[in-house]
Amino acid sequence: MTDGNVLLQDEIDALLNTVSGDEVEASEKPVGSRVRPYDPKTQHRVIRERLHALDMINERFARSFRIGLFNLIRRNADITVESMRYESYSTFSRNVPMPTNINLVSMKPLQGTAVVVFPPNMVFMVVDNLFGGDGRFVTKTDGREFTITEQRIIRRLVGLAAESYQESWEAI
């Protein structure tokens, strides 16, 4: 690869041959020489550039989730897409308000587990809307857990988020 991170024509041909099933000769410089161990505790930015495909998926997810939330609570939801940010899990967990609903979701066929988080204010606004309120009711959240009813509504929100996320990836 050249210094400007642009592939040379012979490198492009080698990649195309690999995709078509032809064998490719090994390069003189082993790829493993650039591999570094990853330590999540000292997470540094792995991705230096914005990933436009993920931005598109994020936009589609917001649109689909907004529609699904409208169908659930019969009110317009104000969902805005923020820019992507990278943070360590320890930073994330320190900034989570209590009580917060944290859901671990398997994302087949991908490996690993996704984290879906619903902050308490969102949960309480959805609950208030479902029971005829206007979504502006402020609930004191210190030192209490979600009720069984709130947990059932959260499960519906998780299902809605999973469906919206699946729809946002389908076009890719």
Q: How far apart are CA 91 and CA 42, in angstroms?
A: 11
Share of the chain above pLDDT 90, in %: 20
Residue 92: predicted pLDDT: 83
Going by pLDDT thresholds of 50, 70 and 90, the confidence category of residue 67 is: very high
Q: Quick one: which of 139, 143, 167 has its CA closest to 59?
A: 167
Residue 82: predicted pLDDT: 84
Distances (CA, A) of 152 to 1, 12, 139, 148, 168: 53, 52, 18, 6, 24
pTM of the shown model: 0.67
For the domain made up of 40-170, give the CATH fold.
Chemotaxis protein chec (3.40.1550)
Count of C-beta atoms within a 10 Å radius of residue 123: 21
| Residue, of 148 and 42, whose pLDDT is higher | 148
- 137: pLDDT strictly greater than 70: no
- 162: pLDDT strictly greater than 70: yes
Residue 63: predicted pLDDT: 94
Residue with token string 């589609």: 60
Q: How far apart are CA 21 and CA 54, in angstroms?
A: 29
Q: How far apart are CA 114 and CA 110, in angstroms?
A: 10
Q: How far apart are CA 51 and CA 128, in angstroms?
A: 37
In whole numbers, what is the pLDDT of the chain averaged over residues? 79
